[in-house]
């Protein structure tokens, strides 16, 4: 869900950068601009479920809301640790809270992000999170959330047809062939690819803000289903986007097209744009499946369930 879509200067209708992401029942916050907790309350994002915050960089429009959020979580009695992934310097910022307002009663666990290429920063049962560098005026990182490939399911009819044992079923689920000895001593192989099927396709989401166009992203994000990419300016301000190390809506669309994305969401809009139609039309001219990040909007990645094989 988009909680904030503005760039450095908020407007009366757009808050600074903040987004929530729900994967497998887990809630993540990606960037936390000023007013983020107000937006979470407004759109009923459940505070207690939040355990992980990913910060792209330490510019105010991406981090100022974190201090109020941390304080509120303390006031409502949070006891579980809050994990924060961010570039170097985040701990110094958090020390301001404890130095001036006292330490909160729950643990703030800071994970410093530092990499020159994609690196795994956290793993859960069915989800891996990677950080990757972006190209901005300060140290900045994007985040890639990728579901793990599911374990294959066994074709139901094959269990009885081949009298599969529990051990053999485990072998197939590990994507290994079964080797049996026949009555005449010959070796019989049961191929896992013929006796199993993938229950669903793993999904992925990439977050890219703020950044100038960066060619390496085409390789790192290839095949990503949904990508959020900043689109601070329209193409007529290309020179300004280079000076400020930002992207145009066309830049964002070209990346989405290059990586074969299914859907592109653009945000981080300059306050000069009261009407965002120009940015949307420009991006859709390159990549038709482009949408505006607007406060309260939810962008879903449907789970593509495989059709079961039948014997």
Nearest-angstrom CA–CA distance, 253 and 249? 6
Nearest-angstrom CA–CA distance, 175 and 149? 12
Query: Is-cis flag, bond preceding 210, omega within 30?
Result: yes
Three-state DSSP at 48 gives: helix
304 within 8 A of 197, measured Cβ to Cβ: no
Angle of helix 277-284 relative to helix 249-259, nearest 10 degrees?
30
310 CB-near residues (< 8 Å, 6+ apart): 155, 157
Q: Three-class SS string for 81-150?
A: CEEEEEECCHHHHHHHHHHHHCCCCCCEEEEEECCCCCEEEEECCCEEEEEEECCCCCCCEEEEEEECCC
Closest CA to 52 of 114, 166, 165, 145: 145
Please pick, among 31, 51, 61, 251, the residue that the annotation labels catalytic: 61
Q: CB-hemisphere CA count at 13 Å for 25? A: 3
Using CB atoms within 10 Å of the CB of residue 126, give its burial: 0 to 12 exposed, 13 to 18 middle, 19+ buried. middle
Closest CA to 234 of 284, 298, 182: 284
Chain-centre distance for alpha carbon 15: 20
Has 251 been annotated as catalytic?
Answer: no
Q: Which residues are catalytic, by number? A: 61
């Amino acid at each position: 869900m988009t909680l904030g879509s503005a760039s450095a200067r908020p407007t009366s209708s757009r808050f600074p950068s903040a987004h929530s992401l729900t994967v497998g029942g887990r809630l993540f916050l990606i960037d936390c601009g000023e007013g983020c907790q107000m937006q979470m309350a407004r759109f009923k994002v459940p505070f207690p479920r939040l355990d992980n915050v990913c910060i792209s960089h330490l510019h105010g429009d991406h981090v100022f809301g974190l201090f109020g959020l941390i304080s509120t979580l303390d006031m409502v009695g949070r006891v579980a640790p809050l994990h924060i992934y961010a570039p170097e310097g985040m701990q110094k910022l958090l020390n301001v809270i404890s130095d001036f307002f006292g330490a909160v009663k729950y643990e703030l666990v800071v994970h410093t992000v530092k990499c020159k290429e994609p690196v795994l920063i956290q793993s859960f049962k069915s989800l891996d999170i990677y950080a990757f560098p972006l190209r901005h005026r300060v140290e900045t990182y994007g985040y890639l959330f990728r579901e793990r490939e599911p374990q294959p399911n066994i074709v139901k009819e094959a269990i009885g047809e081949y009298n599969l044992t529990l051990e053999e079923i485990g072998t197939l689920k590990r994507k290994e062939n079964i080797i049996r000895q026949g009555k005449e001593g010959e070796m019989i192989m049961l191929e896992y690819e013929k006796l199993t099927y993938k229950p669903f396709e793993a999904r992925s989401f990439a977050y890219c803000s703020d950044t100038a166009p960066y060619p390496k992203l085409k390789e790192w994000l290839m095949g990503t289903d949904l990508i959020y990419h900043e689109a601070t300016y329209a193409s007529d301000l290309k020179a300004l986007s280079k000076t400020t190390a930002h992207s145009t809506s066309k830049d964002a669309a070209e990346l989405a097209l290059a990586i074969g994305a299914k859907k592109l969401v653009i945000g981080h809009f300059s306050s000069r744009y009261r009407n965002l139609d120009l940015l949307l039309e420009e991006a859709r001219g390159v990549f038709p499946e482009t949408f505006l990040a607007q406060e309260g909007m939810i962008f879903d990645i449907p789970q593509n369930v495989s059709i079961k094989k039948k014997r």
